[in-house]
Amino acid sequence: MSDHETTPIPRRGFMRAAARAACALGIGGGAAYLVAPRTPGERVWQIDPEKCIACGNCATYCVLRESAVKCVHSFAMCGYCELCTGFFNPSPNDLTTAAENVLCPTGAIVRRFVEDPYFEYTIDQNLCIGCGKCVKGCKMFGNGSLYLQVIHDRCLNCNQCSIAAACPSEAWVRVPAARPHLWKKVT
């Protein structure tokens, strides 16, 4: 404003206006160009269970004090086994729910007898901290029905996910917000 009044050089003003217009066009057009052809994009973070090695980084690298990653259970894949290696220590004292036998550090896996010989395992997400211990155990000896997923009502969906940056197996991917999970399931 003061420029216009104090330095009445029309040519300079015109050049500034032209530059401004070019700049605006560049910013707006560039952004539009980058967005336009690629929608709908991949928007939210998720873990590809096939690549995840359950290293435990998810539990510690999340910007949240309690990770947005927790274990989920694909019941349709589960063997409902009595000797569940996602539930028990590698060498349990006995196949009971007592502390000395079980794997989960926080007691988040709940085991319930269904019928001989099946047991149902559910995750108490309130207690799960996403350490992935059960995931490893399940993957090694079982069907891999326990696996880690980003829980989206916790995830802040940061521009750069700290866990993704720390993920050793490139298992962190962006997925469409419409299908925000990579479920393991029976089709």
Partner 1 sequence: MQFTRIAKALPASLAALGAALIAFLLLGGEGARAGSLAKRVAGTDMAGKTREQVAVAIEKASTLTVCDGVPAAVEGAWPCFRGAKLDGIGTERAPLAREWGPEGPPVLWTIDVGEGYAGAAVLNGRVYLIDYDREAQADVVRCLSLADGRDIWRFSYPVPVKRNHGMSRTVPAVTPAYVVTLGPKCHVVCLNAETGAFVWAIDLVRAWKAKVPQWYAGQCPLIDRDRVILAPGGDALLIAVELATGKVLWQSPNPGRWQMTHATPMPMELRGTRMYVYPGSGGVAGIAAEDGALLWQTDAWKISIATVPSPVIAGGGRVFLTGGYNAGAMMLKIDAQDGAFAARTLYTLDPKVFASIQQTPILYQERLFAVKYDGQLACADLDGRVLWTSGSGNTFGLGPYALAQGLLYVVNDKGRLTLVDAGAGEYRRLAEFEVLQGHDAWGPLAIAGGRLIMRDFTRMVCLDIRDRAARAAQGGVQ
Partner 2 sequence: MNPRGPSLFAALKSDARAAARTALVTGAFAAITAAALLAYHVRGSAEDFIDSAEIADLKSALAADPDNGALKIEIQERDLAIRRAYFAKLARLDRGIYLLLGGVLAFVGSLAWMAFARRAAPKPGAAEPTAAAEARATLSARWSVAALAVIAAGLGAAWAGRSDLAFLDRAVQAIEEAKAPPVLAPPEEIAKQWPRFRGPGGLGVSAYLNVPAEWNGASGAGILWKTPVPISSDNSPVVWGDRIFLSGATKKRREVYCFDAATGALLWTGKVERVPGSKDGPDDIMEDTGYAAPTVATCGRRVYAIFANADLAAFDFDGRRVWARNLGVPENNYGYAASLLVYRHLLIVSYDQAKPEDNKSRFLAFDIRNGKTVWDTVRPVAASWDTPIVITHAGVDQLITCSNPFVIAYAPDTGRELWRADCLNDDVAPSPVYAGGLVLAVNTGAQLSAIKPDGTGDVTKTHILWLAEDGLPDIASPAATDDYVYLLTTHGLLTCYETKTGKLLYEEDTDLSFNASPSIVGDKLYLISTKGVAIILRIGPTYEELGRSELGEGVHASPAFQDGRIYIRGKKHLYCIGAR
Partner 3 sequence: MTARGAISTRAAAGLIVFLALVAAVVAVALHDPIGRRGNRLGRDFAYETKDLRPIPPDLIRYAERAAFDAGLAVPRAIAVDAGDKIYVAGDRAVVWFTTHGAPAGARALDGEPTCLAVGADGTWHVGLGGHVEVFDPAGARAAAWTPHGARSYITAIAAAPDAIFVADAGERLVLLYRPDGAFVRPIGGRDAARAIPGLVVPSPFLDLAMGKDGLLRVTNPGRRKVEAYSLEGDLCFAWGEAGAAIDRFCGCCNPVHLAVLPDGALVAAEKGLATVKVCEPDGALRCVVAGPDLLGENALGCDVAVDSRGRIVVLDPAAKKVRIFEPAPPGGSRSQETGSAHE
Residues that bind partner 3 (CB under 8 A): 54-57, 59-60, 78-85, 90-92, 95, 103, 105, 116-118, 131-133, 136-144, 165-166
Query: What's the min distance (Å) between Cβ of 61 and partner 2?
Result: 12
Binding mask 62-91 for partner 2 (x = CB under 8 A): ---xx----------------------x-x
Which residues contact residue 13 at a Cβ distance below 8 angstroms, ignoring those fewer than 6 apart? 3, 4
Contact 78, 150 (CB under 8 A): no
Residue 59 CA to residue 131 CA, distance in Å, equals 5
Binding mask 61-100 for partner 1 (x = CB under 8 A): ---------------------x-----------xxxxxx-
CA distance 182 to 47: 7
How far CA 8 is from CA of 2, 11, 14, in Å, comes to: 10, 9, 11
Judged by beta carbon distances under 5 to 8 A according to partner kind, the member of partner 1, partner 3, partner 2, none in contact with residue 65 is partner 2
